[in-house]
């Protein structure tokens, strides 16, 4: 279990005036936001509003055109590739598809992630951490299965296990319930809350699944037309009379 950061008052992610566009089209404009330690922040908005672009700027898969993207006190646009990769060891990213290696078993997928992050771990340590991560997503019996043998919900769970196996300080979830039936979606939402409590992780959750939002959000950031439309606690959204917000919280 990781220790608390020395200054817990500082946000783990601090973004100021972020701008990014592609081929002359601005996707995000003057985005200013924070992710605080130990919170689940949901980024909500219509498809194509820039939610995933925001997450990719945070993890450094995309470089913003202007602004500051500070993660754990480091400004992402200023980092070298070596520095960025070092910082990424403290972050986990759950892709929509799970992004598992099809040629590896579940155990090998998780073990490979650990080896990339810490080459000094013994095989016994790796097996112990892999078993713990699988236990925490309820799939310890799937360790020797191939990805092709897993259902969509199981692949999401294994993708989450691979994300948490290195106990990251920050987890970015990109549409964690997309393509799942309501029961499985609820199970993933429960897991997101469990991971928050078990690993004390700070999480940014990109979704347009309002059921998931209601189950996991400590705070909501809504995007519209590339800008922050509203930020606040879930109650302020559910009771809002704003027509745009009411489209989501019917």
Residue 119 confidence (pLDDT): 76
Residue 98 confidence (pLDDT): 64
> Which SS3 state, helix, strand or coil, does residue 96 take?
coil
* Residue 152 in this model has a pLDDT that exceeds 50: yes
Whole-angstrom distance, CA of residue 167 vs CA of residue 212: 23
Least Cα distance to 179 among 209, 200, 144, 199 occurs for 209
Q: Residue 152 falls within a domain, yes or no?
A: yes
Q: Residue 3 falls within a domain, yes or no?
A: no
Intra-chain end-to-end CA distance of the chain, in Å: 40
Q: Residue 165 falls within a domain, yes or no?
A: yes
Whole-angstrom distance, CA of residue 18 vs CA of residue 6: 27
CA dihedral 161, 163, 165, 171 (to 10 degrees): -120
Q: What is the mean pLDDT of the chain?
A: 89
Q: 233-241 long-range CB contacts below 8 Å, 24 or more apart?
A: 238/214
Q: What is the pLDDT of residues 158-207, one digit of tens each?
A: 988 888 888 899 999 998 988 888 998 898 899 899 889 888 899 999 99
Count of domains in the chain?
A: 1
Which residue range is the domain that position 161 belongs to?
Answer: 13-246
Q: Determine contact, residues 37/8, Cβ cutoff 8 Å.
A: yes
* Residue 148 in this model has a pLDDT that exceeds 70: yes
Q: Residue 7 falls within a domain, yes or no?
A: no
Q: Determine contact, residues 95/159, Cβ cutoff 8 Å.
A: yes
For 55, other C-beta atoms within 10 Å of its C-beta total: 21
Using the CB atoms, write b or e for 65-78: b if 16+ within 10 Å: eebebbbbeeebbe
Q: What is the pLDDT of residues 46-67, one digit of tens each?
A: 888 889 999 999 999 999 999 9
CATH code, domain with 106: 3.40.50.300
Whole-angstrom distance, CA of residue 85 vs CA of residue 101: 20
Residue 216 confidence (pLDDT): 95
Cross-strand bridge partners of residue 205 = 42, 173
Residue 170 confidence (pLDDT): 95
Q: Residue 8 falls within a domain, yes or no?
A: no
Q: Determine contact, residues 229/31, Cβ cutoff 8 Å.
A: no
Residue 3 confidence (pLDDT): 46
Q: What is the pLDDT of residues 202-246, one digit of tens each?
A: 999 999 889 999 999 999 999 998 899 999 999 999 999 999 999
Q: Residue 166 falls within a domain, yes or no?
A: yes
User: Helix 152-164 and helix 123-136: axis angle, to 10°?
Assistant: 130
Q: Determine contact, residues 238/249, Cβ cutoff 8 Å.
A: yes
Q: Residue 115 falls within a domain, yes or no?
A: yes
Q: Residue 182 falls within a domain, yes or no?
A: yes
């Amino acid at each position: 279990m990781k220790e608390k950061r020395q200054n817990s008052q500082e946000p783990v992610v601090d973004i100021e005036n972020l701008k990014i566009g592609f081929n002359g089209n601005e996707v995000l404009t003057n985005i200013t936001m924070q992710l605080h330690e130990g919170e689940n922040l949901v980024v909500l908005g219509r498809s194509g509003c820039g939610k995933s672009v925001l997450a990719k700027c945070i993890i450094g898969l995309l470089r913003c055109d202007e602004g500051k993207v500070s993660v754990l006190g480091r400004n992402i646009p200023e980092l070298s590739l070596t520095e960025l990769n070092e910082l990424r060891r403290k972050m986990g990213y759950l892709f929509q598809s799970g992004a598992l290696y099809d040629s590896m078993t579940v155990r090998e997928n998780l073990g490979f992630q650990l080896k990339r992050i810490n080459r000094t771990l013994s095989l016994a340590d790796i097996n112990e951490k892999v078993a713990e991560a699988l236990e925490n997503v309820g799939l310890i019996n799937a360790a020797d299965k191939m990805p092709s043998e897993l259902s969509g919900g199981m692949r999401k769970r294994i993708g989450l296990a691979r994300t948490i196996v290195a106990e990251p300080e920050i987890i970015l979830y990109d549409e964690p319930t997309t393509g799942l039936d309501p029961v499985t979606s609820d199970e993933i939402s429960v897991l997101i809350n469990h991971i928050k409590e078990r690993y004390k992780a700070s999480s940014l959750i990109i979704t347009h699944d309002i059921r998931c939002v209601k189950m996991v959000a400590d705070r909501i950031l809504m995007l519209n037309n590339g800008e922050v439309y509203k930020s606040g606690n879930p109650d302020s959204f559910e009771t809002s009379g704003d027509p745009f917000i009411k489209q989501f919280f019917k």
